[in-house]
Amino acid sequence: LVLLLFLNPAVAAEPPAARMDRAVQLWGSAGAVPFAAGGAISDVARNDDGATAAAWCREAGLLLGTGDGRFSPDRPLTREELAVALRRYARILGR
């Protein structure tokens, strides 16, 4: 499901999505599991709609922070970061 979303030609033609947008998509495809963040992310407010998704992706090792406790939610996700995140997600799924 996730790969189909990212390989969709309509999606591929769009500019790169923000890290937070992809975190929300990955977390949602995992079932939007309830998750209590272990450590704070300095640039994502706890009441932000994507805070749980960002924390889950970080803890799962899919999208790591960008240094100094930051997640850089508005920064575009690079193709390389996306490839790594999808590979790690496939491992979580056992594939």
25-37 pLDDT tens trace: 999 999 998 877 6
Distance CA 77, CA 19 (A): 5
pLDDT, one tens digit per residue, over 25-77 is 999 999 998 877 666 788 998 888 899 999 999 999 999 888 888 999 999 99
| The dihedral formed by the CA atoms of 80, 13, 1 and 53, expressed in degrees to the nearest 10 | 60
| DSSP three-state, residue 49 | coil
Here the tokens at position 8 are 């969709």
Q: What is this structure's pTM?
A: 0.80
